[in-house]
Amino acid sequence: MAGYKETPRQKMIAMMYLVLTALLALNVSKEILNAFLIVNDSMESTNYIFGTKTEAMYKQFEAQNLQNPVKVGPYYNKALQAKKLSTEMKDYIINTKYEMVAFSERIPLAEAKVKSLRELKGKDKYDQTTSFFIGSSEDGSRGRSRELKNKIIKFKQELLNLVDPDKRGMIKLGLDTDGPFYNADNKKQNWEIHNFYRTILAADVTILNKLIAEVQNAESDVVTHFMSQISAADFKIDQVGATVVPKSQYVFMGDNYEAEVFVTAMDSKQSFTANIGGRGYTSEGGKVKVLLPATSPGPKTVTGNVMFKSPDGTIKPYNVSFDYIVAPPTLTVAPTKMNVLYAAVDNPVSISAGGVSDAMISATISQGTIVRVGNAWIARVSQPGKALVTVTAKVGDQVKRMGSYEFRVKNVPSPTATIAGASDGPVSRDLISASGALIPKMPVDFEFDLNFIITSYNFSGNRKGDIVPFSGTGNRLTEQMKDFIRGCKRGDKVVFEDIYAKGPDGKNRKLNPIVLTVQ
């Protein structure tokens, strides 16, 4: 109102409200910052492990080169060139990271190299990092980001040049610098701005560690390609044995256990015989198919031997032993958030059947729909009562009924209508007025994230012995209501009733009344 002046108490409450809002924002910021720290720790650990595995691959390559330098040598030398390029690129990114930290934290480079991300004071700031990477340009051309981008482009090209031209289409190096890249407003950006404009220090460190991981991955793909170009037949085989590969270690009663037995590193044209579980088999194409009837449930152990010709021409037996389990059909169907299904909402459901892969499972429901979403299932039922989920699975060439599970179906519980965080009891007059809206809150133990929308309500209060009524549409308080509340005295009561809210099913529900005592 014109000429209205706040009292010192009202000013204090308004200031406290602003401070609370700032603290809430700060909490969100801390959660996001902590997420970057967690991801960065994981990325550094992954880079270390990946680097160890890559070194093991080079040692394997070196051993093969010692066995057959004529055949392996050219590919091994190219692998060493790829290693050199990758090491130089990683060193550049690591040095960039340390220089960025030193510039942002205003500390010596030597100190930046020994500080962890969690120790940095300005890890949630972006002014200095933006200046470092973008500089005074609008597109990053005067900052370190443009130099980094050019280094990446050169590294990818030099790495690809090591591969024969007709094989380059087989290599996917990643490290995309071309985009397209878009910001949150769906506006196109270049690589520099997309990655480093106004990104906090913690995010920049994480991004640089991600680039290191992509460099290592590109190196690994190229070296793996070089190894794949060498025929395994050219290497010396120092161990011969028999391998059993079962189609499944779980067998349903009434079905057959199916497995393949083959001789490692043996010519597929060479014929051999096998005796598995007391049954004789002759190979076809270098392997035999074993069929063992599953007549009773429980763990099974099968022994036997494989007879084939060794390099010196003699026929030798190689013993075989393997285990499997025969189990009756089992079914597990369970809701992931509650022991019932709720009508008119998406209900996550877990479905599994022992011994059957998830891809082979199908499900139907007696009312509504149930569909697969990724590795889970979503059931949506239309009305309260009961719903029966029936599961089938493709086992071999047959479709088997695995069983069914009955659920109770309930309506989604109604929320509690509140204002200023309360539905009854004493509440500050200024807090009621400042809140300015009715908020429906779902029960604390209700796991679904659902939104109810207040559509209408009635408001009344006592003024000099008379009941003064108002009506409202939506959830916001009108200015007349706010003026009335501001004029209330300590101990006066205000009532919100006939509160209606629209739920996810599109229907209006009447919520609880709110009776507040003004303080």
The pLDDT of residue 80 is 95
Residue 451 has pLDDT above 50, yes or no: yes
Alpha helices by DSSP H, listed for 174-313, are 191-196, 201-228
pTM for the full predicted model: 0.43
The pLDDT of residue 23: 41
Average pLDDT over residues 314-328: 75
State mean pLDDT over 262-276: 71
User: Over 60: is that where the pLDDT of 232 sits?
Assistant: no
* Least trusted range by pLDDT, from 117-131, 138-152, 343-357, 464-478: 343-357
Q: Report which of 481, 509, 507 is spatially closest to residue 496, judged by C-alpha positions.
A: 481
The 3-state secondary structure of 368-420, one letter per residue: CEEEEECCEEEEEECCCEEEEEEEEEEECCEEEEEEEEEEEEECCCCCEEEEC
Instruction: State the residue for tokens 């599970």.
Output: 405
Residue 442: what pLDDT?
92
* Distances 318 to 245, 246, 402 between C-alpha atoms, Å: 16, 18, 39
pLDDT at position 3, please? Answer: 44
Q: How far apart are CA 318 and CA 305, in angstroms?
A: 5
- The rounded distance, in Å, linking the Cα atoms of 335 and 347 is 7
> Which two structure tokens, joined as six digits, stand for 125?
């700031």
Rounded CA gap, 275 and 52, in Å? Answer: 43
Under DSSP, is residue 309 helix (H, G, I), strand (E, B) or coil?
A: strand
Longest dimension (CA), the chain: 114
The model's confidence at residue 8, banded by pLDDT at 50, 70 and 90, is low
Beta strands in 279-375 (DSSP E): 279-282, 287-293, 298-309, 315-327, 332-335, 341-342, 347-352, 361-365, 369-373
Cβ(264)–Cβ(240) under 8 Å? yes
Q: Confidence class of residue 233 from pLDDT cuts 50, 70 and 90?
A: very low
Nearest to 397 by CA among 197, 256, 514: 256
CA separation for the pair 118, 124 (Å, rounded):
11
> To the nearest 10°, the Cα dihedral for 33, 39, 45, 48?
-100
Q: Is residue 156 pLDDT above 80, yes or no? A: yes
Give the C-alpha distances (Å, rounded to integers) separating 91 from 195, 216, 289.
20, 12, 52
When pLDDT is cut at 50, 70 and 90, the band that residue 471 belongs to is very high
Average pLDDT, the chain: 84
Residue 466: beta bridge partners?
463
Closest CA to 391 of 415, 341, 356: 356
Q: What letter would DSSP give residue 206? A: H
Highest mean pLDDT among 164-173, 291-300, 503-512 belongs to 503-512
Tell me the helix, strand and coil percentages in the chain, rounded to 5.
Answer: 35, 30, 30
Report yes or no: 135 and 142 within 8 Å, Cβ to Cβ.
yes
Q: Which residue has the higher pLDDT, 156 or 309?
A: 156
Tell me phi and psi for residue 157, to 5 degrees: -65, -45
CATH superfamily of 242-327: Immunoglobulins (2.60.40.10)
- Which sign, positive or negative, has the C-alpha torsion 180, 186, 188, 194? negative
Of 464, 467, 439, 465, the residue nearest 453 (C-alpha)? 439
In this prediction, residue 211 has a pLDDT band, given cuts at 50, 70 and 90, of very high
> In a 3-state reduction of DSSP, which class is residue 463?
strand
Task: Check if the beta carbon of residue 206 is closer than 8 Å to that of residue 40.
Answer: yes
Single-letter amino acid, residue 375:
N
Residue matched to tokens 């958030």: 337
CA 486, 488, 490 angle in degrees (round to 5)? 120
The β-bridge partners of 250 are 325
Q: Does the pLDDT at position 445 exceed 70?
A: yes
What is the pLDDT at residue 92? 96
Average pLDDT over residues 141-157: 93
Using CA atoms, how far apart are residues 30 and 114, in angstroms rounded to an integer? 24
pLDDT for 17 beyond 60 = no
Quick check: 152 and 178 in contact, CB under 8 A? no
DSSP state of 356: B
What's the average model confidence in pLDDT over 122-136?
91
C-beta separation of 193 from 134 below 8 A:
yes
In this structure, which amino acid lies at residue 53? K
Tell which wins on pLDDT, 418 or 252: 418
Q: Taking the CA atoms of the chain, what radius of gyration do you get in angstroms?
A: 35
236 — pLDDT class (breaks 50, 70, 90):
very low
Higher pLDDT pick, 330 / 89: 89
Question: Residue 295 has what pLDDT?
Answer: 78
| pLDDT the model gives residue 313 | 62
* DSSP structure class, residue 272: -
pLDDT digits over 35-56, tens only?
Answer: 778 888 888 888 889 889 899 9
Model pLDDT, residue 239: 53
Asked whether the predicted pLDDT for residue 234 surpasses 60, the reply is: no
CA angle 461, 464, 468 (to 5 degrees): 30
Q: What is the C-alpha separation between 293 and 280, in angstroms, rounded? A: 15
In the predicted structure, residue 289 carries a pLDDT above the cut 70: yes
pLDDT at 264: 64
CB atoms within 10 A of CB 165: 8
Sign of the CA dihedral 101, 105, 110, 114?
Answer: negative
pLDDT interval class at 328 (50, 70, 90): low
- Answer whether 398's CB lies under 8 Å from 383's CB: no
What's the average model confidence in pLDDT over 131-156? 92
Name the class of domain 332-410.
mainly beta
Q: For 335-388, what is each residue's pLDDT tens digit? A: 665 678 999 899 999 888 766 778 889 999 999 999 999 888 999 998 999 999
